[in-house]
Structure 1
Amino acid sequence: MKYLYLLCALFAAVTANAQSTSKDTLLLADPTIFYGGGQYYLYGTGSPKGFPVYQSSDLVNWHGPAGKGADGHALLKGDSYGTAKFWAPQVFKNKGKYYLAYAANEDLAIAESDSPLGPFKQKTIKAISGPVHQIDPFIFKDSDGKLYLYFVRLQKGNRIFVAPLKDDLSDIDTAAAKECVNSSLPWENTANSRWPVCEGPTVIKHNGLYYLLYSSNDYQNIDYAIGYATSTSPMGPWTKSPTNPIIDRHLVGFNGTGHGDIFIGRGGQMYYVLHTHNSNTRVQSRKTAIIKLAFTKDKPAALVADKNSFRFLTIDKD
């Protein structure tokens, strides 16, 4: 009887420990990670109230939502532009301030804060200028200090554009906006859609060459995937890589891989954070994952993803 009691106690302890360390996959679409001060901050699409933020010191153990707004939000509806469709955030630091660029109401907006945890607000609530609806913003600062905004115009499909961004990040030079890339290749529109989708821009500069990552196919398509194009100027013209797509379902084994952001983590390691479909039979809610990226030693360098580094981001269950 004594041994039976000890066995039951051991089983209970093991079960309790397993439960205490069980994890949930983070469910943020269009994710972005900002790294600063030894901390990683994760934002994404998923809340009708704005953008919650999750925090980690090691890219493994996440906690939150940790934002300074209600329910852990870094940006709350009412503090900045938009009433619905809060999509595709990006956090950018410039001159000691933090800026959150995002889409809402299928328009673009940029809010600011003193902390990556928020609260992000606009002094004057307004959208970025544009002739049509625009989504998926990405702020890029070149080595000469000039700012650019990459974004998607909903114009005969989802098409990626770039425009110079004002120094105070209040608006873009719409007259100087140029189209970068659209979905014109077979892998980019496997459904032969009349509205081809090219979206989720993110840009990095390496050895004087600009690399523009983008996602093609509708996000509900299992072939949603990531390619890149290069240019000698942040304004283009852009040349697509012949090795595209560099991240897709065949590489990582999960459908709907796309729409993320490059970030440089501790030790200078380059990553891409992205989302996938929830399962092979269900798109929503989309799962958040990361994968390591690297430049090859070729001249010019190619951009490659390490399939063995792919993993979903998780958080402890309550």
Structure 2
Amino acid sequence: MNFTGTRVQSFLRLSLCAALLQTVAMGCQTTQAPQPSAPAAQATPIALADPTMFFHDGTYYLYGTGNPQGFQVYTSQDMKTWKGPTGNSDGFALKKGDAFGSSKFWAPQVFLYNGKFHMAYVADEGIAIATSDSPLGPFSQTDKKALAAPVKQIDPFLFIDDDGKKYMYHVRVADGGNRMFVAEMSDDLSAMKMETLKQCIEATEPWENTEKDAWSVTEGPTILKHKGTYYFIYSANHFKWPSYAVGYATSNSPYGPWEKYTGNPIISKANLNYNGTGHGDVVKDQKGNMFYVMHTHQSATQINPRKTGVVKMIFSKDPKGGADILSVDPKTFHFLEATQ
């Protein structure tokens, strides 16, 4: 009995071992080696100078100076997370060859007019306007030409007033400096009415020419209308100077005369702590909050490629009873980054 019991116990032990080996073998067959995870998308700083931001149908579109082949575009749903370039022409919203210009593609502005998206921009130191069915482009011209002018002109901003009249604010490069002008536009936006041309602003204040350059610079106009008052936002000094900054003037007429705000500049190295703050545009978010998108120098020692940032802009009551005061909240300033 002891011999037989020993044989039975040995048999049972062998059977159990076999079962365990089979289970281990099956586990080895079904377990897969861990797969390496895909690398996380890397966000890179957006380097667009003279930026403009356009909001349409829940999407923010960002354009600016930075590529000799035209204007690339970046997109965002929240003004924080950006993708791009996302333009319909290899990342471009406007690509050289589709509209006027062979070089020096600068300072675009995008707006919706008569059911078409329009881009006013600079190329070859002239102002042109192209159209598209999408903010992503392609923006193009049937007749590839700039607006007629006897001088070089840059930095367009088209403003449509409450009465439907359209005005082209821009910079004329002549007579020893960059000075800002306005002229009424034809309804088809093909030409400025030269009989209405009027100078608006030039550098006259100390903050507008800190280096006392022989060639003074005021540029980058953006026009707002708030409570019946026109606000002319602009940049002054050459963009290469750390003191490049933003101020504004007000008027009761789109033609001026313009009264410069005594607290200028409202955006500068003094309140943002970055060199070369300026030349931007105003955009409102989905909640109606107002922001100014601009460029700064690349670093404290390097100008280009200029970096793109945004800061919240605010209207507040003038304690003296004048027009509302325009300012920014420096704590909200941040640079923009994008993933492909």
Instruction: Answer yes or no: same fold by TM over 0.5.
Output: yes
Task: Tell me the equivalent position of 1:233.
Answer: 253
**Cross-structure match for 1:142:** 161
Give the whole-Å Cα distance in 1 for the aligned partners of 2:220 and 2:326: 17
Equivalent of 2:113 in 94, 98, 105: 94
Deviation at 1:21, TM superposition (A): 5.3
Cα offset, 1:22, TM superposition: 4.1
| Counterpart check, 1:276 vs 2:307 | no
Tell me, yes or no, if the aligned pair for 1:269 and 1:292 is still in contact at 8 Å: yes
1:45 aligned to 2:65?
yes
Q: Distance in 2 between matches of 1:118 and 1:186?
A: 41
- Normalised by the size of structure 2, how large is the TM-score? 0.87
2:337 aligned with 1:314: yes
For 1:286, give the aligned amino acid: R
Task: Specify the SS of the correspondent of 2:287.
Answer: helix
Please say if 1:304 is aligned against 2:327.
yes
- Name the counterpart of 1:206: 226
Residue of structure 2 aligned with 1:168, choices 184, 188, 191: 188
1:24–1:314 Cα contact (<8 Å) kept: yes
Distance in 1, Cα, partners of 2:40 & 2:215 = 47
Match of 2:264 among 232, 235, 244: 244
**One of 206, 210, 225 as aligned partner of 1:186:** 206
Aligned to 1:177: 197
Question: Offset of 1:171 from its aligned partner?
Answer: 1.2
Distance 1:68 1:21 in 2: 22
Q: Choose which of 148, 153, 157 in structure 1 pairs with 2:177.
A: 157
In structure 1, the gaps of 5 or more residues are 1-12
Q: Does residue 20 in structure 1 map to residue 43 in structure 2? A: no
- Residues in 2 aligned to 1:203 and 1:121: alpha-carbon distance in whole angstroms: 25
Tell me how far apart the structure 2 counterparts of residues 23 and 74 of structure 1 sit (CA, whole Å).
21
Q: Which amino acid aligns with 2:96?
A: K
Distance 1:202 1:173 in 2: 20
Distance in 2 of aligned mates of 1:63 and 1:184: 41
Q: Secondary structure at the match of 2:207?
A: helix
For residue 166 of structure 1, report the CA deviation from its aligned partner: 1.0
Q: Would the aligned equivalents of 1:26 and 1:313 in 2 still touch at CA under 8 Å?
A: yes
Count of residues in Structure 1 that have an aligned counterpart in Structure 2? 301
- Inter-partner Cα distance in structure 2 for 1:61 and 1:303: 27
Q: 1:1-35 deviations in whole A, cap 9, x for unaligned?
A: xxxxxxxxxxxx9xx89x72542110000000000
Task: Report sequence identity in percent.
Answer: 51
Instruction: State the partner residue of 1:7.
Output: none
Listed one character per residue, the Cα deviations across residues 203-252 of structure 1 (whole Å, up to 9, x for unaligned) are 00000000010000000000000000001011111110001000001111
3-state SS of 2:271 partner: helix
For residue 152 of structure 2, what is the amino acid of its counterpart?
H
* 1:8 corresponding residue in structure 2: none
Question: What secondary structure is seen at the aligned counterpart in 2 of 1:124?
Answer: coil
Q: Matches of 2:283 and 2:192 in 1, distance apart?
A: 24
Assess if the C-alpha contact under 8 Å between 1:163 and 1:173 holds in 2: yes
Partner of 1:120: 139
Contact 1:129 1:174 in 2 (8 A): no
Runs of 4+ in 1 over 6 A off after TM superposition: none
Report deviation, 1:143: 0.7
Counterpart of 1:314 in structure 2: which amino acid? E
Residue by residue over 1:244-276, the C-alpha shift from the partner in whole angstroms, topping out at 9 and shown as x without a partner, is 000001111100000000111110010100000
Q: Max radius of gyration: which structure?
A: 2
Q: C-alpha separation between the residues in 2 aligned to 1:21 and 1:109?
A: 37
| Deviations 1:259-318, CA, capped at 9 Å, x for gaps | 0001111100101000000000000000000000011022410101000110000113x6
